[in-house]
Structure formats: structure tokens, C-alpha cells
Amino acid sequence: MINAYINLDKEHANFLQMFKDVGIKKLTIKNIENQSQIDIALTSLSKYGDTKKSLSDIESASKPVPELIICDEESFDQTVDLIMNSRIQIISSKSGLAEVNARINSLLGDTNSEKIEFKDLIINLKTYEAKAGNKLLDLTFMEYELLKFFIEHQENAWSREQLLEKVWGYDYFGGARTVDVHVRRLRAKLGEKRSDWIKTIHSVGYKFN
């Protein structure tokens, strides 16, 4: 799922279904608390200034939000400066689904290979971030690695020793207690509604599902 801020002219309302078809989830600006919650901005050229203003409080100057801008043919001469920005793509108001999908993938890369998901939990393999719902989880590197391992190996039961080997590596000299501590912290950070995703298997270890 791709999270997007959408700001379109009425004349471009037909793009809403295309955005939905390529896996776009529309976020309202009041539901976006920080830039990590949004993947892309989708806007009409005439709304571009308003879109930038709406995102100004959360957008990083060093890494602005990627933008797909819909432009009517008679206005293309106004987009020369925008086209030179690698984080912006311009499409015609007559563009079809295939072009919309290609342009978004060009801006974001292969999002399917960069993210893994479990229910409302999203792990971003490119940015090393994890989000539960719209909340960015404050994870240490090893908490992130353990959570990613659990999601990638759902339904399997793992002993503490196996998790130490698979996640921490052969050269880690800490004891099994390390796994218990990280699991406890992960459960707390996932929150009460999601903490039971990590199940304790008596006399074995842990399982995620």
C-alpha cells in the first residue's frame, strides 16, 4: 500500500480510481503527523502551490516528498523547471493507468520489494523504518531486525538459540535472555492490540502470526 496526499482539480477526478487501482491509500493532511507517514503527493498543477504549503510543516528540505503532477496540455510550458527535479514526475491529464503506474514506480522504485507487511504493520527495507497503522515505531536496530525476521518467517516456531543465530549472528556471545528482553520491548512498542502477534511457545521459544 502506498500512502499519498492527494490534491486534485475537479477536472482530474477520474484519476482517483486509477490511483486506487495502483494501490494508493489517500491520507488527509490532518492525519499526517510526519513525513515518514507519506510516500508521495499527487496533485494537479494548479494545486501545486497549495500542496507544497499543506506539506510545508512536515516536509524535509533535504529529502522532499516525491510528487506526481497532473498537467493539462495547454499548461505544459509552465512545468519546465519542475521536470528538472528528479523527485517530480509530470503527466498529462489524458494519461492512462499504465503511465500513472509507471510514473509512480519511477518515483518510488519497486515498492513491493522495498516493503513487507503484516496486517497494518509495514516494514520499509530501504529506510529501516517500521509503522504500525500510521504510527512510526521507535525501534533499535536489533528490534527492527528481529521484527523483520518474525514477519518474514511467520508461523515458524523458533527457539531462543535459533533466533540468536539467525538474527544476531554466529559471533554474538549474549545469552538467550537477550531474546526475551527484545521480545518484551517489541511487544510494548507494538502496543496492546498487536503484542499477541509474538506468541510464546512453551518449552520452545517464540512464533509470530
Bridge partners, residue 88, by sequence: 67
For residues 91 and 40, is the Cβ–Cβ distance under 8 A?
A: no
The residue to which cell 518515483 is assigned: 107
What is the H or E stretch that residue 43 is in?
A: strand 40-44
Question: Cα-flanking dihedrals φ and ψ of residue 191, to 5°?
Answer: 95, 165
Q: Where are the alpha helices (DSSP H) in the chain?
A: 15-21, 48-55, 80-83, 97-108, 111-114, 141-152, 160-163, 177-190
Give tens-digit pLDDT for 58-72.
Answer: 888 778 899 999 999
Name the nearest CA neighbour of 93 among 50, 44, 52, 47. 44
- The per-residue pLDDT for 172 is 61
Structural domains in the chain, sorted by start: 2-109 (3.40.50.2300), 115-208 (1.10.10.10)
Q: Is the pLDDT score of 47 beyond 90?
A: yes
* Chain centroid offset of residue 133 CA: 10
Give tens-digit pLDDT for 151-204.
Answer: 989 889 999 989 988 888 765 666 778 899 999 999 999 999 999 999 999 989
* Chain centroid offset of residue 1 CA: 8
**DSSP secondary structure letter of residue 192:** T
Q: Which of 98-107, 112-121, 195-204 has the lowest mean pLDDT?
A: 112-121
pLDDT bracket for residue 95 (50, 70, 90): very high
For residues 109 and 31, which has the higher predicted lDDT (pLDDT)? Answer: 31
Q: Which amino acid is at 194?
A: R
What is the H or E stretch that residue 198 is in?
A: strand 198-201
CB atoms within 10 A of CB 5: 23
